[in-house]
Structure 1
């Protein structure tokens, strides 16, 4: 239907309104807490904005919810995400794309992402919600990741875990790098 935002923008718009109302804050207050402009937040809630990863993470932290709760579509009985599809959000810092594969629930607070990276700029991430933990398995390529001052290099099949509530980084060392990221949110 013309005039309606396309998914994932419609999912993000609905989730932002739902979570903001759940917390009981105004658009102005949420914008202030997240450090984003009120007009940016208004555009996102109307489905006309173009959110960055950093903006959505800031809004999630301000709302006390995982990033995934802002981009996950409504529940369905069976869900298939074909390669190259799904709610994809890019990084403004690096050639880094995260595709949400599965969001946690109120009782199971974990999210599963497919992340794709290319060599070049490093994806610097701020700390997420308190006590978050990141688990990463590299599927292809080579990846340098971890908290500031404690990065490790991984290859296909390698696994690493680290605290996600402190600043950390992701850097592709070869073209075509991708990995599965599981984020736990206590």
Structure 2
């Protein structure tokens, strides 16, 4: 089966292989640390797997790179227009996440996502690098961060350290549309297009 290099699967396959190589990790070791089956990782690296948001978040956390280092392959230009219909969504238990843009300025990196929470589900995260910012556009959103719960409506904003465990839930039986911004310091981001020297990965126990 052929895989488009510009598809989420194609971009993830190329980036995952590159980042894993730079981290000096075998498939078996990455499988153990991320809690993802070795066969699943092999399929992702060959472009035949079906990546979920949970899988990408786990890989982002273990490899210590922003999500965009794994799923973004679009070059920057003076004028960038991204049509929603042209962007594949990363789907999780309760959300469809569409990566729209990665912005680099000085020592900061900001990723911009269109975020749609489905009714009847909760999207949980055990945490990942960066600072998370969400602005609700449509619907009511329940947000839980490290045990603290808030409810947001249209126009409301929440921001927090994304390394903390957090969860989002669409309330009132409505689909929730929102904008997600993930902010990183530049030194947190591994430049996957530059092979360079393999950085070390701290052992997690």
Gaps of 5+ in 2: 186-205
8 Å CA contact retained: 1:69, 1:103: no
Matches within 5 A, 1:16-55: 16-55=16-55
How many positions carry a matched residue from both structures?
Answer: 181
Gap change, CA 1:124 and 1:31, over 3 Å in 2: same
RMSD (Å) for aligned C-alpha atoms? 1.9
Matches within 5 A, 1:120-135: 120-129=120-129, 132-135=130-133
Match of 2:80 in 1: 79
Aligned counterpart in structure 2 of residue 140 of structure 1, from 123, 138, 141: 138
Aligned counterpart in structure 2 of residue 150 of structure 1, from 148, 152, 170: 148
Q: Choose between structure 1 and 2 for higher RCO, CA contacts under 8 A separated by at least 6 residues.
A: 2
3-state SS of 1:80 partner: coil
8 Å CA contact retained: 2:61, 2:127: no
Matches within 5 A, 1:47-126: 47-77=47-77, 78-91=79-92, 93-94=93-94, 96-105=95-104, 107-126=107-126
**What is the distance in 2 between the residues matched to 1:119 and 1:51?**
21
**What is the distance in 1 between the residues matched to 2:80 and 2:70?**
18
**What is the distance in 1 between the residues matched to 2:56 and 2:171?**
26
What is the TM-score of this pair, normalised by structure 2? 0.81
**What is the distance in 2 between the residues matched to 1:43 and 1:49?**
5
3-state SS of 2:178 partner: strand
* 1:8 partnered with 2:8: yes
**What is the distance in 2 between the residues matched to 1:104 and 1:76?**
9
Tell me the alpha carbon deviations over residues 76-115 of structure 1, each in whole angstroms, 9 at most, x when there is no partner: 4243221333131011x22x11111123559433211111
